[in-house]
Every structure is written in C-alpha cells, then in structure tokens.
Structure 1
Amino acid sequence: MKNFIQNSIQSQKIFYRYFRRKGFKRFFKENILETDGSNKNKAFSIALGIFIGLSPFWGFHSVLVISLAVILKLNKFLSFIFSQIISLPFFVPFTIAASLFFGSYFISGEKPLTEQEFNLETVKENLLQYIIGSLIFASLFSVIAGFIFYFLMKFFKEKKEKTH
C-alpha cells in the first residue's frame, strides 16, 4: 500500500512540473489543439479525465484513466492530464462539498448538510451520499466540460483555417 501511495504522489509531482514549465496557453496550444486525433476524440478524452478525476476512486485515478483510455481508444495523455488537473489538492474540498450537495438530493442524512459542520467526520457519516453525489457530479461536469472543449477546439480550428 505504501508503494501505491508513493507512486500516486509521484505521478502528481510529474504533472505539476510539466504543467508549470509549459504554462496554460502553451499547454492548450501544443497538447490539445495540435495533437493528432479528431476534436470528438479529444473532447471525449478530456471528459473521461475529468470524470475519473472527480470520481470517488481516490488513489486509483491514474490507473483507471489510462486503462479506460486504452480500452476506449482515446488520447491517453489528455485523459491523464485532465484527471490530474481536477484532483489538484485545492480542488478537493470543493469536489467533496459538491458531491455531498448532489448526493443530498438522492440520499438524505439524519439532518440536512446545511446544518452540519463541513469536516472529515461529516463525509464519513454521509459516505453513501458522497459516493452517489460524486458520480452524479462527475458525470454532469465531464459532459459539460466535454462539450465546452469540443466547441473550443472547433472554434480554434476554424479560426486557424481562416488565417491560412
């Protein structure tokens, strides 16, 4: 288990170094717009990465996203990168809160979330609510992000073709 945690932390470190070195604009241009594959394939790859990054499978994101990208014949790099972006440490509290919020519509706890303190104990007490909510939140957010990236890539491709 210790090796597994160290490998997970190592993959996050590699991602941080890579992303910091390139910057967002250069990363978007080189790794999204100029990569091989159709816009549809790239959008599905991004949506898969976001879905896995928001899913409740903590610690298994890298393995899951690469495996699913291979099985579905999607862009492994884009899927991996976007699963890492969404699971950045400062997004985690928002992800958990949103998951509990979405889950509260389907599984109700003893008292409403608005009347509870937001801490790890609340998540433990509402684990089923968190799991269901995170799957719903991951599905919604990945579909929305997939469409947004598809239309962004389509827009930039048309813009590039007009200039040439």
Structure 2
Amino acid sequence: MTLSDIQCCIIIPTYNNENTLRRVIDSVLPYAAGVTVVVVNDGSTDDTMYILASYGVKIRVLNNVSNYGKGYSLRRGFQEAIRLGYRNAITIDSDGQHLASDIPIFIDAALKNPGALLMGSRNMEQEGVPGKSSFGNKFSNFWFKFETGITLPDTQTGYRLYPLEPLKTMKLFTTKFETEIEVIVKMAWRNIPIVPVNIHVIYDKNERVTHFRPFRDFTRISILNTWLVILTLLYYLPKRLFLEVRKVGLWQLIKSEAIKPGESNFDKARSIGFGFFMGIVPIWGFQLLVGIPLSIYFRMNKVLFLAAANISIPPMIPLIIFLSYKFGGLFYRNGVQISSLEHLTLESIHLNFVQYFLGGTLLAVTAGLVTFLTSFILLSLARPKSAKAL
C-alpha cells in the first residue's frame, strides 16, 4: 500500500533547519511516489532556500515572506493540500527527529481507520528525550483530556496524519506551536476519531535545532488552553451530557450511573466523599463548576458526586458557614467570635473572612474524609464482592 491509496500528501514545515532538512526530504521522497511533498519555508534565513531549490519539481515549495510560525505554515500547507484535491496529509517535522520509515505505519492505520486523525506516539521515556519535552507533553496531555475527555499518550507530536475534510470548514486562530493543540481539540469536538500510532523518534542534541521558546510559547499554549477550558465548561461539556441524555434517557442515565454494578466500593465512596468536600469548600458559586469537570476527569460516579454535593442546599448553607467559623476558630484566634447563628451577619462575615475560609476548607477536607470512610465501610458490608483494594 502507498500514500496514493489513501490520497495523502506530505507536508514539511521548516524554519532554519539546514542541518537536517535535506536528510528529511531525501528520506520521504521514496515513500511519496505519485503524491506531492509540500515544503513550507517559514521565512528561513539560513541556506534553506538553496537546499529547496536543488530539488526542482520533485517537491512543491511554499515560501512565507517572514517567520510567521509553525501553525501558520501548517495551515498554509493544509490549504495547498486541499486545493490539490488530497483527502489526507501527513505532517513531519524537519528537525530530523521523525523517521520516514514510519510512514507505512500511518498508511496501514489510515486504511483501518478511514477519516481518523492519526497521532504519532513517541516514547517520551527513552534515553535522550529532553526533560522539558517530557514535561510539556504530560502538561498538554492533561489539558487535552480535560477539554475532550480523550486520553492520548502524545499530544505534542508533529508527526500526524490529518483528514483534510474537517479542515475545510474549521476556523483556526493560532499561528505558532499552539496550533497543533488547537486543531486536535477542535477535531475531537467534531467527533473525529483520534488514533495514536507508535513511532520512532531521534533526539540528536548535536544536530537538532528547536525553535520552541519556553516562556513565550508556553504562555501562548496556556492562554489557548484557558480559552479552550472555558469553551469546554460553558458549551462542549454540557453538549456531551445532553447528547448522552438524549441517547439513553435521563432516568436511565442516572440509574445506570448511580448503580454501576462493576464499579468498586472504593470508587463509589470517593465520589461521595468528593461530593461532600466540594459541597462545603468555600468557593460558593463555583463549587459545581469546578467539581463536575474534576469528577469527569477522575472518572468518578457523577450521580453520587452530585447527590453528595447537594449538602450545600439553601437550608444548610447558614449551618455550613457557622460550622466553618467554629472550625476555623480552633486554628485562627484573631477574628471576632461568633457564638450562635443569630450573630452571623454580613459584617461578621467580612471581619472573620480568614477564619471562615480556613475553617471552611478544613471542614470540607474533614467531611470529605469522614464520608469517604463511612461510605466505604457501609458499601463493603452491603456489597462485599465489590470491595477492591486501592
């Protein structure tokens, strides 16, 4: 099987990689018979232009007039691939870390998963992988899962096979390294299957040139993730829940989630304990906004969590605040003492905020631990066969 069988071209974004660019192009050309190799030169100032010119018609070169960023180059490459009529595009970095010999792996996976986004999964634990790359990948994996509910081993890989049809109507706003995050999150939101494939990787510190600027680019990625998280909480998370409710019915969804016969007593107990914690912790107005995504991320029982979190229903709120003050008074002595609920006023809350916040947090932790242990013991007695070790 060849790239022609999946109507796939190759896109190589490059910027000042004269040491490795020729080797990368030479390695992919044998796999590119009958398809186009698109090299996007992002305003390089080294010998990149001369290297690319030496290939003549073997490759298609797109030159950016300035260094606009990897994301801009990728977007330009996608547009060219779509214009040429391709259905898929493989992207490979020009720094020499990726091996063209892995292209058949992508072809095989594409034939088995038509229309899917294929992500080359690197072994980030192997010798020679820079520490900052490993940390950055784990950081990116965490936020991708939070935003999409999908677990991937490598979300920062530049070696990918993109289905081009979704990109025809997708609006992308970023132009630097963060574009690779933006596009996979938005594909996940469109329910495009995302499949990891194992690839090889080479990190040669003597040859490899990276243009990732830790402070500036990490800041850009953080800003993007902040925006994506907001969209997740306000729209995509409720949308996924609504679609699930419409699919199986609200009552059936609640019933199946609450019972879950295969769920361990520990998981049920931690959901209840976490619900009590979030219902009491003094972040009023944000308890469920924070708690629901966390319960989803850590795969808790959402029904049991929500039921336990309702300890903070209006009739209980004055009692929780009062107990928070009393609990905080055990550790913080500088506030005005409140001896009864009648003394609980807006003025007293203002004067004793530190005592209240400290007490509320400690009360939430204590209540969460107590309800977790109590629930676990009761569930173990009621469901002995479901009791499992941590």
TM, length-normalised to structure 1: 0.70
Say whether 1:44 aligns with 2:307.
no
* 2:372 corresponds to: 146
Instruction: Give aligned pairs, total.
Output: 134
Which one has a larger percent helix, Structure 1 or Structure 2? Answer: 1
* 1:65 corresponds to: 291
Percent identity, aligned pairs only? Answer: 28
| Residues 71, 38 of structure 1: alpha-carbon distance in 2 compared, 3 angstrom cutoff | same
**Equivalent of 2:302, from 76, 81, 93?**
76
Between 1 and 2, higher relative CO (CA 8 Å, sep ≥ 6) is seen in 1
Structure 2 contact 276–308 (Cα < 8 Å) conserved = yes
Q: Distance in 1 between matches of 2:260 and 2:296?
A: 20
* 1:12 corresponds to: none
Alignment of 1:85-124 (within 5 A): 85-114=310-339, 117-124=343-350
Q: Distance in 2 between matches of 1:34 and 1:74?
A: 11
**Offset at residue 71 of structure 1 (A):** 2.4
Structure 1: state its 5+ residue gaps.
Answer: 1-6, 8-21, 160-164
TM, length-normalised to structure 2: 0.31
Q: Distance in 2 between matches of 1:158 and 1:71?
A: 27
Structure 1 contact 33–153 (Cα < 8 Å) conserved = no
Amino acid of the structure 1 residue aligned with 2:302:
K
SS of 2:263's equivalent in the other structure is coil
**Offset at residue 38 of structure 1 (A):** 0.7
Q: Distance in 2 between matches of 1:35 and 1:44?
A: 16
Q: Distance in 1 between matches of 2:381 and 2:257?
A: 16
What's the CA shift string for 1:83-104, capped at 9, x where partnerless? 1x21111111110011000111
Q: Distance in 1 between matches of 2:329 and 2:292?
A: 31
Q: Distance in 2 between matches of 1:31 and 1:148?
A: 21
Structure 1 contact 51–141 (Cα < 8 Å) conserved = yes
**Offset at residue 148 of structure 1 (A):** 0.8
Q: Distance in 1 between matches of 2:293 and 2:335?
A: 38
**Offset at residue 140 of structure 1 (A):** 0.5
SS of 1:113's equivalent in the other structure is coil
Structure 1 contact 103–130 (Cα < 8 Å) conserved = yes
| Residues 59, 124 of structure 1: alpha-carbon distance in 2 compared, 3 angstrom cutoff | same
* 1:16 corresponds to: none
What's the CA shift string for 1:6-46, capped at 9, x where partnerless? x9xxxxxxxxxxxxxx9xxxx9x986555541110111111
Task: Point out the more displaced range, 146-155 or 104-113.
Answer: 104-113
Which one has a larger percent strand, Structure 1 or Structure 2? Answer: 2
**Offset at residue 66 of structure 1 (A):** 1.0
Structure number with larger C-alpha Rg: 2
SS of 1:74's equivalent in the other structure is coil
| Residues 32, 151 of structure 1: alpha-carbon distance in 2 compared, 3 angstrom cutoff | farther
Structure 1 contact 99–130 (Cα < 8 Å) conserved = yes
* 1:162 corresponds to: none
Q: Distance in 2 between matches of 1:109 and 1:93?
A: 22
SS of 1:114's equivalent in the other structure is coil
| Residues 100, 118 of structure 1: alpha-carbon distance in 2 compared, 3 angstrom cutoff | same
What's the CA shift string for 1:49-78, capped at 9, x where partnerless? 110100111111211111111222212222
**Offset at residue 145 of structure 1 (A):** 0.6
